[in-house]
Structure 1
Amino acid sequence: MAKITVLGGAGVVGTAAVRLLATQQEVFSEVVIADYNLESAEVIAKELGPRVTAIAFDANDISSIKTAIKGSDIVLNTVGPYYQYEKPILSTVIELGINYVDVNDDTGATYEALEMDEAARQAGITALIGMGSSPGVTNLLASFAANELLHECESIDLFHAHGFEPSEGPGVIGHRFYCMSNPIPVFIDGKEKLIAQKESAAFEEEVEFINLKGKYRVYPYPHPEPITFPRFLKAKGLKRVTNKGTVLPEKYYELTRAIHGLGFDNKDPVEVKGRKVTPYDFAIAYLIKRRDELISEESDKEPRGCVKIVCKGKTRKGEEQTYVFYLASEGIGKGQGLGMGTGYPAALGAVLIQQGKIKKKGVLPPEACVNVWHFMDLMKNALGIDDQTEEKKSPLIIESIDAAGKVKRMQF
């Protein structure tokens, strides 16, 4: 039997992963929650039983990282922001020769991780990066379309809309500011490009989501898929990969963008009535307060969202064909937020590695090493998905659109 250590295991995403891993007794005999907040980790461990233990862990201290992961068969890293913690944690894991999974959604950290591919191969380990919802499940669905459904895959466009989680802390908003401050990777006309934020308005568009009413304005957003898809799906004739999204309520995201655009992400203090305040701290506090107010004005306050993946290409007969995948907050995903959507796929990725169903070595995104059928089968069993019961239905919806525009609903 095996031991898995979940770094940041007492956080929102980490806790969801730990809860699912605790049900996989036939794969993991021990699940370790490593977290800076030891008290919270111990509470979760006590609730889940003797197979789950807790240990103090500080991501800023390499010796603490080594102590936390020593003796592990797999490390699942949920510690963000990844632009700060991916490199030191992954390099330590490689040094100790331990298999690895994370939910890295930062572009800079993705480039850094991919640069460690050779070191991971030399160490004989599998480092599965970006194994959440998006990136993660989005990668698997896109690769399924490109490799199995289409003869040629010309474009993959990803669209996100989500929000109304019970709370949103400073770390989430701070990470959003970070992303809004960095260039956006896109793959256009068969070439990798970086779009400056000030140039991104030309790429905005209105998009419909299958489970959300109306249209939503989505904005280009830095994400790993436009970095990894061209590298690992290029043989299929890929010419375009984009990623765009918004946060709900829309007024809240528009306000966030406006405040960031005015320079309120600046951390240099200014004096206000005899007190030093940073624009950044003020902006975070104000946005948290204003978000609560905006949500209180809504009639439907339930967490909701959707990821839409549009894959266009051609059949073997040369006819145009489109496949659209939706990961919607419906069925078993109804009312679920970031934790389940991101933590569960990561936990399942770890299970697949331990079961020997992911054999490739190196630093790899999901589309490069995960068999989509293995993942979907495991997900169905682990989550108890049953399409005959409304509350247990799969959150995955698939549409096929032929050259004439005829839409057909598909079953996986």
Structure 2
Amino acid sequence: MNRRPYQVIVIGAGGAQAQAMLAAAARGTDVSTWLAVDRRWREEARAATEALGITTREVDPLEDAVALKALLSEGAIVANLAGPYYRTGTQVLDAAIETRTTYLDICDDADVTLPMLERAEAARAAGVTAVIGMGSSPGTTNILIRAAVDYLGPVEDVEIAWTVDVADITDAAIRHFWHCFNLVEQDGTTHPVPAWDELNTKSVDFPGTVGSQTVARLAHPEPFTAPLFLPVQRAVNHGAITPLDAMRTAWALAYAVDPQRAHASTSTVDAAVAVFSSYRDTRPAGPRIGSGLQIDVHSNGNGLRFASGGVTPMEEATGVPAAAGLVMLLDGEVTDAGVLAPESLSPAAFFTALRRVSLGGGGLELYELVDGRVGERVRIRDLIAARAGQAG
């Protein structure tokens, strides 16, 4: 690492996912030389950050390119947790490459993933390691896919499905979720938000409290990165906000303010966010559904299925893997220069780092898939150990 005043600089550090990441990182490594930056700190978030021993600063480095590069020159690593990434991703990544600063983010926007990956050669030429999409999905999902492919060999299909409880959808998160309705082709072509009856939907049975849910095909980075970084022919992503009335409300507002159709002003979009927030906060109270995940990695229905369902908050599910990614960078576990998706990371090293930063628990299950049906249960540690043994 370069000798700079700060080991890690976190941009957007006052947000919910960044706060979870900082708390997790403090469980697994020394954070006394970290700098947390936010354009407008909430008092409780700033106090919580400083209680971890992290220096805070209130500034908006994204307003000025010179200020952004000056900030990044103070740190060996920058963690960009300021979304939406279709606005901030390439801006911070370009500054990191120019200042030769190691980079990490939790980018979950498909359309900007492609231009970020196109910076790979510039990053390699500068000797910069940039890990993009290091959250839950993408992030943990990519590494699970990598572990399965390492074990199975080349596969034809990867099918990802996830749900998020409406209670976890912050104002920032709903802006991203709306963006996911704009499907993105492999060449970067982006489509308008489809009509409700035109959504590609299916029913998925998640474990635990989540149960059977309807999910829709949504734009996400994994369908681009999995075939690029792994011997995978096709990948598709489906997602949802639960319960279904929340999904319908989110879709309706996304359709109304879709820039490809409505050319809505910033104030109109802000008003739509306020409408969704009011709906979220005033809808009839009910039992918390939680978040669900299912990943099928297979050829002709034969392979592996990862599945989870529970009440882990979205900020924890996203922030903790990001902390594990930073620990891997600090420990020298990721050394290749270039723009890397999480599929590039060692599953064994990731899960080792994850144990350091996690509170424990988690309900991820792994099963064999036989002719498209769930078979025998497999221990994830055995999957990782088997591949590690083959590599050794």
TM superposition score normalised by structure 2: 0.86
Distance 2:267 2:39 in 1: 26
Distance 1:6 1:73 in 2: 11
Query: Does residue 241 of structure 2 align to residue 241 of structure 1?
Result: no
Query: What are the residue-to-residue correspondences of 1:108-257 with 2, within 5 Å?
Result: 108-148=111-151, 150-165=152-167, 168-169=170-171, 171-180=172-181, 182-185=182-185, 197-198=193-194, 201=198, 203-212=200-209, 214-233=211-230, 236=231, 238-257=232-251
Checking the alignment, whether the CA contact within 8 Å between 2:168 and 2:314 is kept in structure 1 is no
Quote the offset at 1:260 in angstroms. 3.3
Distance 1:365-1:256 versus aligned 2 partners, 3 A rule: same
After superposition, give the CA deviation of every residue in 1:337-395 in whole Å (9 maximum; x if it has no partner). Answer: 22111111111111101111112110010102x1001111221233253xxxxxxx333
Give 1:401's match in structure 2, choosing from 345, 355, 369: 369
Distance 1:193 1:242 in 2: 16
Q: Which amino acid aligns with 1:66?
A: K
Structure 2: which 5+ residue stretches go unaligned? 381-392
Distance 1:56-1:280 versus aligned 2 partners, 3 A rule: closer
Distance 1:307-1:225 versus aligned 2 partners, 3 A rule: same
Residue 45 of structure 1 aligns with which residue?
49
Counterpart of 2:63 in 1: which secondary structure?
coil
Residue 31 of structure 1 aligns with which residue?
34
Checking the alignment, whether the CA contact within 8 Å between 1:162 and 1:304 is kept in structure 2 is yes
Distance 1:281 1:5 in 2: 29
Quote the offset at 1:278 in angstroms. 5.8
Q: Which amino acid aligns with 2:350?
A: F
Checking the alignment, whether the CA contact within 8 Å between 1:267 and 1:279 is kept in structure 2 is no
> How many residue pairs get matched?
371
Residue 274 of structure 1 aligns with which residue?
none
Distance 1:304 1:213 in 2: 6
RMSD in angstroms over aligned alpha carbons? Answer: 2.7
After superposition, give the CA deviation of every residue in 1:196-216 in whole Å (9 maximum; x if it has no partner). Answer: 643893632111111245422
Residue 104 of structure 1 aligns with which residue?
107
Checking the alignment, whether the CA contact within 8 Å between 1:33 and 1:55 is kept in structure 2 is yes
Query: What are the residue-to-residue correspondences of 1:364-403 with 2, within 5 Å?
Result: 364-368=340-344, 370-385=345-360, 393-403=361-371
Structure 1: which 5+ residue stretches go unaligned? 270-276, 315-319, 330-334, 386-392
Distance 1:185-1:33 versus aligned 2 partners, 3 A rule: same
Checking the alignment, whether the CA contact within 8 Å between 1:264 and 1:280 is kept in structure 2 is no
Distance 1:267 1:152 in 2: 43
Query: What are the residue-to-residue correspondences of 1:311-350 with 2, within 5 Å?
Result: 311-313=297-299, 321-329=302-310, 335-350=311-326
Checking the alignment, whether the CA contact within 8 Å between 1:99 and 1:127 is kept in structure 2 is yes
Residue 95 of structure 1 aligns with which residue?
98
After superposition, give the CA deviation of every residue in 1:2-29 in whole Å (9 maximum; x if it has no partner). Answer: 7111111111111111112223345x54
Quote the offset at 1:80 in angstroms. 0.3
